[in-house]
């Protein structure tokens, strides 16, 4: 793994700017960091921080994801447009999350909520077949 200086320059004129060869040392460091963070996330999960559990776990997972994206997926060295395109998917995903979960979270805050209970499935009866004969 000491071949970081291997020649790939023969093609530099043909593929200029298209690739960046990371050193093996960098990959290995990232791997060690990822494994370490995995241990931390497991260790932290043994304690109960109440509502913060999810935030902590997602925070660590996001750091790990960032490492994978930046180094294993070479995004750190990629062209601006590729960065924008890939990262915009997270932006749009967050829109789905924010609005859907905000609806879910604020539904109980409606001022009529105290009179409106959520019935459980067993309280209602369903027809066994719905127009199956058509």
Q: Which of residues 71-90 bind another protein (CB under 8 A)?
A: 71-73, 78-79, 81-82, 85-86, 88-90
Which of 3, 47, 50, 80 binds another protein (CB under 8 A)? It is 3
Distance of closest approach, residue 3 Cβ to another protein, in angstroms:
6
Quick note: the x/- pattern for another protein over 55-74, rule CB under 8 A, is: --xx-xx--xx--xx-xxx-
Distance of closest approach, residue 36 Cβ to another protein, in angstroms:
10
Burial of 50 (0-12, 13-18, 19+ CB in 10 A): exposed
Q: Is 107 in the site for another protein (CB under 8 A)?
A: yes
CA dihedral 70, 62, 82, 28 (to 10 degrees): 20
Cα distances (angstroms) measured from residue 11 to each of 17, 23, 76, 82:
11, 18, 22, 22
Dist. CA 53–CA 75, nearest whole Å? 29
Residues in the chain: 134
Q: Is 25 in the site for another protein (CB under 8 A)?
A: no
Which of 16, 47, 50, 114 binds another protein (CB under 8 A)? It is 16
């Amino acid at each position: 793994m000491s071949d970081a200086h291997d020649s790939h320059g023969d093609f530099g004129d043909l593929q200029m700017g298209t690739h960046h060869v990371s050193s093996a040392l960098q990959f290995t460091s990232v791997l060690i960091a990822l494994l370490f963070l995995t241990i931390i996330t497991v260790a932290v999960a043994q304690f109960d921080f109440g509502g913060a559990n999810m935030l902590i776990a997602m925070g660590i997972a996001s750091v790990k994801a960032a490492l994978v994206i930046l180094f294993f997926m070479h995004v750190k060295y990629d062209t601006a447009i590729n960065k924008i395109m890939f990262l915009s998917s997270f932006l749009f995903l967050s829109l789905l999350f924010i609005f859907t979960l905000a609806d879910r979270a604020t539904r109980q805050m409606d001022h009529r909520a105290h009179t409106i209970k959520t019935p459980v499935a067993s309280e209602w009866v369903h027809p066994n077949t719905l127009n199956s004969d058509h």
